[in-house]
Amino acid sequence: MPLVFIGKFGFKSGRNIDKFEGVSFDIGKNSMPCVNDYCVAHIVAEVIATSDAATHTLFIGKVIDAKVLNEKEPLTYFDYHLIKGGKTPKSATTYVEEKKL
């Protein structure tokens, strides 16, 4: 199920769990894991710069390899918000409590 997968990688810290346990992946040209489950392609990049974007860090990379895994329709951020209703679980490291009006 994609939501369980999204929750594992998006809302749990790798300090607390092994995110790759039970997940199919290959090792990319940069020696990093390339996840196969629920993915339509791999893009492997070399980080060439970073930028602080307040709540996130923006990584700028140079593509060093890419591979199409299948021709399925990818799940987009928009699709995710339709499914989740735009809510972030309280257990997420990115959770911010909503202010009551």
Q: How many helices (H) and strands (E) does the chain have?
A: 2, 4
For the chain, what is the domain count? 1
The pair of structure tokens assigned to 70 is: 């299948």
Q: Could you tell me if residue 10 is inside a domain?
A: yes
Q: What are 49-82's pLDDT values in tens digits?
A: 999 998 889 999 999 999 999 999 887 877 777 7
Task: Please state the pTM of the whole predicted model.
Answer: 0.64
Q: Could you tell me if residue 62 is inside a domain?
A: no
Measured from the Cβ of residue 45, the count of other Cβ atoms closer than 10 Å reads 17
Q: Are 52 and 60 in contact (CB under 8 A)?
A: no
Nearest to 2 by CA among 86, 62, 77, 94: 77
Nearest to 91 by CA among 17, 12, 9: 12
Q: Could you tell me if residue 79 is inside a domain?
A: yes
**Exposure b/e, 60-90, CB count within 10 A at least 16 = b:** eeeeeeeeeeeeeeebeeeeeeeeeeeeeee
Between 61 and 97, the more confident residue is 61
Domain holding 76, by residue range, is 2-39+68-84
What is the reported pLDDT for 36? 92
Q: Could you tell me if residue 9 is inside a domain?
A: yes
Q: Could you tell me if residue 6 is inside a domain?
A: yes
Q: Could you tell me if residue 23 is inside a domain?
A: yes
Q: Could you tell me if residue 13 is inside a domain?
A: yes
